[in-house]
Amino acid sequence: MIEIGIDSFASAMYGDNNTLSSVEAMEQLLQRIEFADQVGLDVFGIGEHHKKEFLDSATAVILSAAAARTKQIRLTSAVSVLSAADPVRVYQSFATLDLISKGRAEIVVGRGSSIEAYPLFGFELNDYDKLFKEKLELLLQVRDNEFVTWSGKFRAPLNNLPVYPRAIQEKLPVWLGVGGSPESFVRAGTLGLPLMVAVIGGQTHRFRPLIDLYREAGQANGFKPEELRVGLHSPGYVSATNESAVAEYYPGYAELWTKLGLERGWPPVTKEKFDYLADEKGVLVLGNPEQVAEKILRHSDALGGISRFTFQMDNAGLTHSQLMNAIELIGTKVKPLIQ
């Protein structure tokens, strides 16, 4: 069975004429999480950024507020930038979320494709991978042991010190969020961690060789195939018809990704490029419920089977009402079609 959910960066972007306050944007986000729970979605994730247009710098705080308003939906980071954080505090925050949510907390950790957290918290980008490797090791030790003895380069050592509170779940789920680095896929498999693959461009099936690396590394280290779960995070949107989905989604997508392109050296978005990404093999999971369900299943087959799919729907120009409508369609139409 494929779990279906939403990932959000707590975006306050509603186009160039946005007059929405941060208070209003946060309240609307919590309403969307509450509604996602009501319509039967499996998971809701909140990212981590430290930029003006996003409100998700304190991920666990948002998720804890959502936990008090929901009953069934699992609540996760998407992703926590572990390299620029203290793993002990990350565990404590999500263990607390686990208590508040009565066992519904998860963590997706990664190095972060946005790098603003590194200078903000005093870390060097030259240590990008070393930081993550060391801090992931500590996070897993804290997750698995009440008393921890550990030493490393980037943090003070721990000598048989306890870490509290403890999560309700015996093993708080820790997923490894990855982009396109083969080393990251192998690392997740070697550790036997579930894998969350963020595919934000191109054609999704091209990630199959990397996912094969993950599964091969996992099985070589003694993990069973059913333990090696794969999640897929992709931009997408659902509306009543394919035409309305494109009409509502494209203007804001073009605005947002053209702006990101100026920062990262990508060319501006064109309608031709958008149509390529929205075709049957492209990354954009966009259209009416039937088309979207078919595409998720097609992606799953192409990747050798996925356990979770999450829509990233934050987009300049999409209104709260449109997002609520999309969540309703995903919960009442797309998920039943997939299952």
Q: How confident is the model at residue 25, as a pLDDT? A: 92
Q: What is the pLDDT of residues 153-177, one digit of tens each?
A: 999 999 999 999 999 999 999 999 9
φ/ψ (deg, to 5) at 310:
-125, 130
Quote the tokens at residue 120: 């903000």
Q: How confident is the model at residue 133, as a pLDDT? A: 97
Contact 38, 31 (CB under 8 A): no
Q: What is the pLDDT of residues 44-73, one digit of tens each?
A: 999 999 988 899 999 999 999 999 999 999
One-letter amino acid identity for 141? Q
Burial of 40 (0-12, 13-18, 19+ CB in 10 A): middle
Contact 246, 285 (CB under 8 A): no
Q: Cis bond leading into 251, ω under 30°?
A: no
For residues 320, 324, 326, 330, the Cα torsion angle rounded to the nearest 10 degrees is: 150
Contact 211, 185 (CB under 8 A): yes
Lowest mean pLDDT among 9-13, 56-60, 185-189, 318-322: 9-13
User: What share of the chain has pLDDT > 70, as a percent?
Assistant: 97
Q: What is the DSSP letter of 45?
A: E
Q: How confident is the model at residue 257, as a pLDDT? A: 83
Contact 326, 239 (CB under 8 A): yes
φ/ψ (deg, to 5) at 195:
-110, 125
User: What share of the chain has pLDDT > 90, as a percent?
Assistant: 86
* DSSP H or E stretch at residue 160: strand 158-162
pLDDT at 223 over 90: yes
Q: What is the pLDDT of residues 108-142, one digit of tens each?
A: 999 977 789 999 999 998 999 999 999 999 999 99
Give the Cα-Cα-Cα angle 103, 105, 109 (nearest 5 degrees). Answer: 150
- The sign one gets for the Cα dihedral 331, 56, 198, 249 is positive
Q: How confident is the model at residue 17, as a pLDDT? A: 53
**DSSP, residue by residue, 201-258:** SSBGGGGHHHHHHHHHHHHHTT--GGG--EEEEEEEEE-SSHHHHHHHHHHHHHHHHH
* DSSP H or E stretch at residue 329: helix 320-329
Lowest mean pLDDT among 75-89, 92-106, 185-199, 263-277: 263-277
Q: How confident is the model at residue 146, as a pLDDT? A: 98
* DSSP H or E stretch at residue 337: helix 335-338
pLDDT at 15 over 60: no
**What is each CA distance from 214 to 75, 119, 199, 231, 267, in whole angstroms?**
25, 31, 16, 12, 31
- The sign one gets for the Cα dihedral 195, 239, 286, 111 is negative
Q: How confident is the model at residue 263, as a pLDDT? A: 78
pLDDT at 81 over 80: yes
Of the candidates 174, 181, 191, the one whose C-alpha atom is nearest the C-alpha of residue 128 is 181
